[in-house]
Amino acid sequence: NAGVTQTPKFQVLKTGQSMTLQCAQDMNHEYMSWYRQDPGMGLRLIHYSVGAGITDQGEVPNGYNVSRSTTEDFPLRLLSAAPSQTSVYFCASSTRLEPDTQYFGPGTRLTVL
Amino acid sequence: TQLLEQSPQFLSIQEGENLTVYCNSSSVFSSLQWYRQEPGEGPVLLVTVVTGGEVKKLKRLTFQFGDARKDSSLHITAAQPGDTGLYLCAALSNDYKLSFGAGTTVTVRA
């Protein structure tokens, strides 16, 4: 199993550009989540999904969209990038029975100029 | 305001010394997790504590859940350079959202 994979590893955007961060898992996990990590603030939940076709907002959802058309994939879309979205983004997945045991991807480091 | 408060924020010690990291909240949790994150990687789950007063050991790491299930501690005995990393506590809310503390950066000098 590859676990949780994320692409790209690094990305630089200009203010106003849009892009999609990809996340995929091959563990048949029902739950998937997106977090951003900023210095001194830990990980903050952006959006999460408890199954295909179901998504909900986390703590910091503004400026981001998600969809969950399949169990495996959970892309995160930045609609119009802003410098405040410069961060490291992590995707995670877990089973419905153990939602607190999350498996994280390697992260995407995003810089918005 | 963070749901989970971790202290200290930074900890730098010499190899062989002991250290303790704390995770506190005013909320009661059904379980609490500790993760370790190394530079350039995602967090990796170390342990989940469930019962108030529970103590779990993972080699030189000892995790304790407070009796009231509001706080937890991580103690490392005879720290080694391989213990260097960011230690994060996390807890699940009733709506299945996982909240993280801000983390403690531990540096163990050889």
What average pLDDT does range A34-59 have in this prediction?
Answer: 92
pLDDT at B14: 97
CA nearest A32 in B: which residue?
B97
- Residue B15 pLDDT > 90, yes or no? yes
- Residue B1 pLDDT > 70, yes or no? no
Pairwise CB contact (< 8 Å): B100 & A43: yes
- The larger pLDDT score, comparing residue B64 to residue A97, is at B64
What three-state secondary structure class fits B84? coil
Return d(Cα B66, Cα B56) in angstroms, integer. 12
Residue B35 is which amino acid?
A: Y
DSSP B32-75: EEEEEE-TTS--EEEEEE-STT-EEEETTEEEEE-TTSSEEEEE
Name the band, by pLDDT with cuts 50, 70 and 90, for residue A96: confident
Return d(Cα A47, Cα A67) in angstroms, integer. 10
With 0-12 CB in 10 A as exposed, 13-18 as middle and 19+ as buried, what is A16? exposed
Beta strand extents in A8-82 (DSSP E only): 10-13, 19-25, 31-37, 43-51, 54-57, 64-66, 76-78
**Other Cβ atoms closer than 10 A to A96:** 11
- Length of chain A equals 113
Return d(Cα B7, Cα B17) in angstroms, integer. 18
- Residue B94 pLDDT > 80, yes or no? no
Distance from CA of B30 to the nearest CA of A (A): 10
B27-65 pLDDT, tens digit per residue, is 888 889 999 999 889 999 999 999 999 999 999 999 999
Q: Which residue has the tokens 């563990």?
A: A27
What average pLDDT does range B5-11 have in this prediction?
Answer: 95
Return d(Cα B93, Cα A7) in angstroms, integer. 29
Q: Which residues of A touch B5 (CB under 8 A)?
A: none
What single DSSP character describes residue A106? -
Distance from CA of A71 to the nearest CA of B (A): 18
Return d(Cα B4, Cα B90) in angstroms, integer. 7
**Interchain CB contact of B45 with A (< 8 Å):** yes
Mean pLDDT value across chain B = 93
Pairwise CB contact (< 8 Å): A42 & B103: yes
- Whether the Cβ atoms of residue A29 and residue A103 lie closer than 8 Å to each other: yes
pLDDT at A43: 93
Tokens standing for A1? 């199993």
